[in-house]
Structure formats: structure tokens, C-alpha cells
Amino acid sequence: MKRCLITGAAAGIGRALVDVFSGKGYEIVGVDVDPRGVEQTKRALSDRGVVSTFVVADLASSDGVSRCVECLVEMPPVDVVIHNAGISAVGRLPAVPLEDQLRVIDLNLTAPMALTASLLRDERVASGGSIVFVSSLSHYVGYPGASAYASTKDGIASYARSLRAELHSADIHVLTVFPGPTRTDHARRYSPDNSRESSRMDPERLAEMICDSVLRRRATLLPGLASRLAAFAGSWFPRTMERAMVSTILNRLDAPR
């Protein structure tokens, strides 16, 4: 049986990935900070007869990363690693506490790099396996009002691109995903406007596309036509897209929520 490691596995995109990969016959190794969410996810998988192991750890802390690594090195190698866990800190930059910004960097960027290095060093990624990094559409269009978040998603995309070239000879596949707005509690929590929530991508659909891209060993995934069009506009008409993002996101941060 193949094994899939997913961070942020108890909610949102991570939980959708758990359902999709377990449905494809993968044993699940999940990591999440929420003990209650972990128990609910484990129970749901057990009811379906899915083998799973979960680690409760806060990957935004060095102690949490160390705890996670200690658990993972005691387990058999995994075939798929999905770095999905992430948070944001929204607001006009001077108003966002520095500690909040640093926590975003620790979870979204430092933790995936540290876990990846440890898994590769200890040979815990199976030959022929895949490592998936969940970046963001903000890599192409920017994210005024969430600068720390955008910087981590740019950083993880660059890291994945370089790692892909490095691991090619080791027969380890690297996929970078650039999701746009997705219908999750995370998006609802950080968005200044949820009035068009129904237009956001369903997380189960995104998870299916990620799984398909892993099986096809694709290098990148821009899920959905809207995301591809936005990425095109951000690449070719950056100033126009920046003004649009300021209007639709940054200026709305000041409005009552």
C-alpha cells in the first residue's frame, strides 16, 4: 500500500486531500495542529477502513517541526508528501504585528523546507515518489494586504522549482500548485469580502486535480480556467492586475466586516 503524508490534514484543502488520496488506496499520514480535527478525521477514515497515522504538532514552531520529524523518521517511507498547511496575516502592513508575520513565514515557508530536508536526508521519500508544494495564485498576481503570506508563497514556488531540478536524477517528482480562491474556512477567515464565496473552487475538486497531477507527474498546476486567466494577466499586465488587487482586496480591508 502506498502512503501519503499531508500537512494541515484535518480541515480545508488538507482534509479534501485526505479523502481523495485515501479513496485512491493510499494509507494516510496526517499532520495538524488541531487535536479535535485530527480525532474527527481519524474516526472518519477508520469508519471507511482506511489505515492512517496522525501527528499533532504546531509546524509554526521549531519544537513542533522537531516533534513531527521525530515521528516521521520512525515510520516507513512515504510515496507522496503534500506541504499544504498554511496561515495568513491580513491588514495594511504597518498594522500587522511583526510576530504574526513571522509566524506566517515559519509555517508556510520554513516548515516545508525543514521537513523536506529531513525526509530526504533520512530517505523517507520513496524512490519514484512525489513532493507537492501548495503555493498560491498570488505568485502571479500579488496579494496587497497579505504581504507576508504572498512572500512565503513566492518563496515556496522558487524553492520547489530549484528542488525539482535537483531531485530529477533521484527519481523524485516535484509538483507546485497555485490555487486561486478556494471554498474553505481559511479563505473565509482571511478574505475581506465573502459575498461571492460560492464562486470559489470546491476543495474536493482541487484535491482531485492535485492527485491527477501527481499521477501524471506534472511540474505545475494552475487549477481552473479563472486561475489560468488571472495568472496570464498577472504575468503580461502586472500593473493592471496590481491595481485590480488593490481595489478588490486592499481597499476592502478598511470596510466593516
In the chain, where the domains are located: 3-254
Contact 46, 52 (CB under 8 A): yes
**Whole-angstrom Cα distance, residue 116 to residue 233?**
32
The distance of Cα 183 from the centroid of its chain, to the nearest Å, equals 14
Query: How is residue 94 written as a grid cell?
Result: 504597518
The yes-or-no verdict on residue 14 having pLDDT over 80 is yes
The yes-or-no verdict on residue 25 having pLDDT over 80 is yes
Which CATH architecture does the domain made up of 3-254 adopt? 3-Layer(aba) Sandwich (3.40)
Query: How is residue 110 written as a grid cell?
Result: 520554513
Contact 133, 85 (CB under 8 A): no
What global pTM score does this model have? Answer: 0.94
- Grid cell 491595481 is found at 243
Q: Give residue-wise pLDDT tens across range 201-252.
A: 999 999 999 999 999 999 999 999 999 999 999 999 999 999 999 998 888 8
Q: What are phi and psi of 220, to 5 degrees?
A: -140, 155
Query: How is residue 35 written as a grid cell?
Result: 487535536
**Whole-angstrom Cα distance, residue 214 to residue 208?**
10
- For residue 219, what is the DSSP state? S
Query: How is residue 127 written as a grid cell?
Result: 524512490
Q: Give residue-wise pLDDT tens across range 62-118.
A: 999 999 999 999 999 999 999 999 999 999 999 999 999 999 999 999 999 999 999
Triad 15, 18, 20: Cα angle to 5°: 110
Q: Which of 96-100, 183-187, 191-195 has the lowest mean pLDDT?
A: 191-195
